[in-house]
Amino acid sequence: MKQGVDVIYQAQLFDEKNSLIGNPDFLIRHENEAYQPADAKLSLSELKKEIQVQLGFYRLMLGTELPGIVFLGDGREALIGDEANAVTNQFITEMRGLLDSPDEPLVRYSHSKCLACPYYDHCKPGFVEKEELSLLYGVQGRSAAGLEALGIDTISRLAATDPRGMADVPYLKGSKKDRAVLQAKSWFDGKVYQTGDVVLPDGQWVHFDIEDNPLTASGEKHVYLWGFLVPAYGDDQFETVWTDSDDQDYDGWLGFLEKVEGYQARYPELVLAHYSSHERSTIASYARRYGMEAHETVRYLLGDDSPLFDLQKPVLESLVLPLQGYGLKDICKHPDLVNFQWQDEESGSQWSVVQFNRYLEETDPVVKAGLKTAILGYNRDDVIATRRLEEWLRHTFN
């Protein structure tokens, strides 16, 4: 901050006097030279209060009047300002009360939160020892409380329950109950359970993944890399549309559409495979941004006969895996599942944003080229991973 850099990634805020620590995803230097906190979130809807407290806490630590920014998964942004002060102060008071208490509070496991928490090594063994239900993928805190009210208070008990006779509990109804029971069995035996046919479309598959930067002057995310792995899926069959900055955002978008048109002509039964809904929602947001919803290629991409295929869907619909998260890396890195390893172990989508922002600021052409090579390598590994996942699904479940 003293150096006045534009963006700080994973900042470490420490207020020794008041014993406060905060780790905002980003600190962004404002034109008045103050820093503005920002976090990336999938959506605002679920945990609105928690997000308000989180951003309110960073604002308090920074002593800034600037609102905190929430970058949402669908490309939108939300601002959190003084309206969050009351809940933030209440949170701090309650936390101080907890810290003063000799008893640990009763808490649930949350895979995304606990993995990133400094208390992980303290809390996880306790959760495992008592077979806390929320350790299971798909069993949220409120579902766990509902199961406990039914007398199902451990993973062993859930694994031994017949889901057909189990009453509905919050967020666990119908087939979700079957999945929860199988997830409990998988916790102990490490097996994969198949709950339905794994249906993959026929055609010529092109694997597709994007990298985007939310830290732009306009506030609209910039897709700096549209990456594709085309048949016959070798390392040299990795194709890209790259743009150097958000000034070229429109060119990149048109380059992407041109690529799709080329694939459409080359592959009569094109399947544009990606993992999760992010690629489709980004295409929709770009079409809106440039008023191109009626463009022929956009309608082809987003219409009823869309070539886009989300590979996460058959996984979530038909398989129960011995995992606590169902991200691409969770499945692909697991040695008993796809067993594909990324060349750079540090890499990830936030890592890629950081490398790209370093790329933007770098003036040495050799270092700049090295950063671009690293980003391209990460994206290439992502599309190779979705290809390996496709192969694994075909070989194992068909």
**Burial per residue of 283-293, b for 16 or more beta-carbon CB atoms within 10 angstroms, e otherwise:** bbbbbeeeebe
Say whether residue 130 binds ligand SF4 (CB under 6 A).
no
Which of 5, 42, 117, 149 touches ligand SF4 by CB under 6 A? 117
Alpha carbon of residue 213 to chain centroid: 14
Q: Report the distance separating Cα 203 and Cα 308, nearest Å.
A: 12
Beta bridge partners of 227: 209, 240
Q: DSSP readout, 61-110?
A: HHT--SPEEEEETTS-EEEE-GGGHHHHHHHHHHHHHHHHSSSPPP----
Q: By CB under 6 A, which span of 111-119, 132-140, 244-252, 283-291 interacts with ligand SF4?
A: 111-119
In the block, tokens 């290439």 appear at 380
- Residue 49 or 394: which CB sits closer to ligand SF4? 49
Say whether residue 103 binds ligand SF4 (CB under 6 A).
no
Interaction residues for ligand SF4, span 242-261 (CB under 6 A) = none
Beta bridge partners of 205: 271
Say whether residue 113 binds ligand SF4 (CB under 6 A).
yes
CB proximity list for 137: less than 8 A, separation 6 or greater? 111, 183, 323, 324, 325, 326
The token pair at 72 is: 């949402």
Q: How far is the CB of 148 from ligand SF4 (least distance, A)?
A: 17
Which of 72, 78, 107, 200 touches ligand SF4 by CB under 6 A? 107
- Residue 114 or 393: which CB sits closer to ligand SF4? 114
CA dihedral over 149, 150, 154, 158, signed as positive or negative: negative
Say whether residue 120 binds ligand SF4 (CB under 6 A).
yes
Say whether residue 114 binds ligand SF4 (CB under 6 A).
yes
- Residue 40 or 95: which CB sits closer to ligand SF4? 95
Say whether residue 128 binds ligand SF4 (CB under 6 A).
no
Say whether residue 119 binds ligand SF4 (CB under 6 A).
yes
- Print the binding letters for residues 131-150 with ligand SF4: x by CB under 6 A, - otherwise: --------------------
Q: How far is the CB of 351 from ligand SF4 (least distance, A)?
A: 22
Q: Report the distance separating Cα 71 and Cα 9, nearest Å.
A: 14
The binding site for ligand SF4 (CB under 6 A) comprises 107, 113-114, 117, 119-120, 123
